[in-house]
Amino acid sequence: MAGKVYLVGAGPGDRELLTLKAKRLIEEADVIVCDRLVSGDITDMIPVGTQVIDVGKNAGNHPVPQERINEILVEEAEKGKTVVRLKGGDPFVFGRGGEELELLRSNGISFQVVPGITSGVAAPAYAGIPVTHRDFCSSLHFITGHAKKGGDLKLAYDALVRLDGTIVFYMSVAAAGKLADGLMAAGMNPDMPAAVIENGTRPNQRKVITTVEKMAEAVRENGIKSPAILMVGKVCSLSENFDWFDDLPLKGVKVLVTQPRKKASTLGDKLKNLGADVTMYPCIRTEYIRPINPEFDSFTVLVFTSAEGIHSFFDWLKEEGLDSRALSGKRIACIGPATARAAEMYGIRADFVPDVYDGVHLGNEMISAGFINEEDRLILLRAEKGTEEITAIFDENNILYTDYPVYRTSYVENEGLNAEDFDVITFTSKSCVEGFVKSAGRKDFSGVKALCIGQKTAEEALKYGFDVTVSDKATIDSMACKLTETR
Ligand code: SAH
């Protein structure tokens, strides 16, 4: 069967500005033909195993020529593949999307177009500039400052000045002086507000509010580099009042989030939402242990100390052709809300969650609340080589239990990361600390700040000299809160 090409806008950078359709197509594609402007945040979402053709640069570090890109799309589609052509911003806004469709059409290849949020609107929005406002303008103009090869940039400056609207310039860092001179020569007031926004919507976004007269100087003095949007118009003056992005509580804080590869990046997303510059570092990998045969029928209480334990166990139930009904009559204890939520995904509501989310409290509170006693038979479905704190409590209190490993963690090789490049490193489990230390290949992290989810994790981090802060509660929300407070 013939393949199909989706021309997809990836938006300006922040991955949460991706459309739902773009996200689905990225997940379903056989091959993704990717541009230079697509942010790393978004390329990280491409499933492992999907073929990626990076046309933003080739071996010589030059981008693949447009004609060749057009051919690649045809070739891949003719192999019967579902091709996603992923482009920064919107594919039709200075994105050569039209050129790419021509060859597809003449080769009879079917295609669809998915619009994206264009940087000329998004970067201003993240700088607190509404591109239109009834008190200031009645038109909005998108202009490229980059002429087609060999051509000269000829703009109708007179018309632009006369319209008195908001002018957004793409690809204009090098042309800033020429553009400003052109506008002023056509009669624009040199004091007309202007803005320069580099890396819009990304954690390293920079913004300079200036005037058209000083716009080129602002670009030069601040060392502004592509990608950047230049803007001219009265609305630029609103940035002072409306900027929200630079005011975010964690703006500029560089955070390394260590976490298992499979976990959803909830902590990362929460911190990004607070303005942090987040790097995800999946230093540990979880692997479900198979074959297993926990013979859970003979137990009265199932105890889970992590979401991974839940997922491994319920996956196994499914492999056995069973579902949650097999647990009818059993009581379920979970170490904390995240584990309980994981159980809910399989239709199971935890019967017991301690007030404080760690092994010691889980063990002690189950006993003190009368949830378990000597008559019970417990099965602890957890990681291989789990800590002994909870089992020691069971031993002391004559509680019968079986410690049953259902998953194990292994470490991911260091990818050339330097701890000192970050303001803080977050650890959400003891094994994350171990994983990070192992993958970093060193043991002394004095002076490096670490935010830990709980006491056990903190103790592990202290062994390696980290400057440790512990979250008040063992939850992702509480960690995000702590980071904001201690900033
Ligand atoms: N199709 C893209 C534009 C491609 S042209 C879109 O709709 O956004 C490339 C230009 O887009 C860059 O030179 C710059 O002017 C602008 N651009 C793209 N991403 C940007 C970003 N994150 N911040 C500021 N400008 C950006």
* The one-letter amino acid at 233: G
254 is a catalytic site residue: no
CB 206 within 8 A of CB 230: no
Atom 11 (ligand 1) nearest CA:
170
Whole-number Å distance, alpha carbon 201 to ligand 1 midpoint, is: 11
Whole-number Å distance, alpha carbon 130 to ligand 1 midpoint, is: 17
Atom 13 (ligand 1) nearest CA:
171
Q: What is the pLDDT of residue 58?
A: 52
CB 64 within 8 A of CB 58: yes
Whole-number Å distance, alpha carbon 137 to ligand 1 midpoint, is: 23
- Distance separating alpha carbons of residues 264 and 276, to the nearest angstrom: 18
Position 118 confidence tier, pLDDT thresholds 50, 70, 90: very high
CB 3 within 8 A of CB 76: yes
Q: What is the pLDDT of residue 414?
A: 66
Marked catalytic residue, from 44, 57, 318, 467? 57
Mean pLDDT, all residues of the chain: 93
| Inter-CA distances, 246 with 16, 202, 242, 252, 451, Å | 18, 11, 10, 8, 23
Place of tokens 């073929």: 51
Atom 2 (ligand 1) nearest CA:
89
57 is a catalytic site residue: yes
| Closest CA relative to residue 437, chosen from 419, 452, 455, 459 | 419
| Closest CA relative to residue 203, chosen from 273, 254, 277 | 277
pLDDT for 96 beyond 70 = yes
pLDDT for 150 beyond 70 = no
Q: Quick one: the chain helix, strand, coil %, rounded to 5?
A: 35, 25, 40
pLDDT for 100 beyond 80 = yes
pLDDT for 1 beyond 90 = no
Position 422 confidence tier, pLDDT thresholds 50, 70, 90: very high
pLDDT digits (tens, 9 = 90+) for 51-73: 999 998 654 567 889 999 999 99
CB 104 within 8 A of CB 73: yes
pLDDT digits (tens, 9 = 90+) for 231-260: 999 999 999 999 999 999 999 899 999 977
Residue of 281 and 291 predicted with greater confidence:
291
pLDDT digits (tens, 9 = 90+) for 307-329: 999 999 999 999 999 999 999 99
Whole-number Å distance, alpha carbon 229 to ligand 1 midpoint, is: 7
pTM: 0.78
Q: Which of 42, 140, 170 to mutate to test the pocket of ligand 1 (most atoms within 8 A of CB)?
A: 170
- What's the whole-number mean pLDDT along residues 92-121? 96
Q: Which atom of ligand 1 is nearest to the CA of 230?
A: 15
Atom 25 (ligand 1) nearest CA:
228
- What's the whole-number mean pLDDT along residues 358-381? 96
- Distance separating alpha carbons of residues 100 and 66, to the nearest angstrom: 8
Tokens of 125: 């929005």
pLDDT for 282 beyond 60 = yes
- Beta-ladder partners of 287: 408
Ligand 1 pocket, CB under 6 A: 12-13, 37, 87-90, 93-95, 118-119, 123, 170-171, 197, 199-202, 226-229
pLDDT for 264 beyond 80 = no
- Distance separating alpha carbons of residues 31 and 81, to the nearest angstrom: 7
| Closest CA relative to residue 40, chosen from 82, 92, 88, 73 | 88
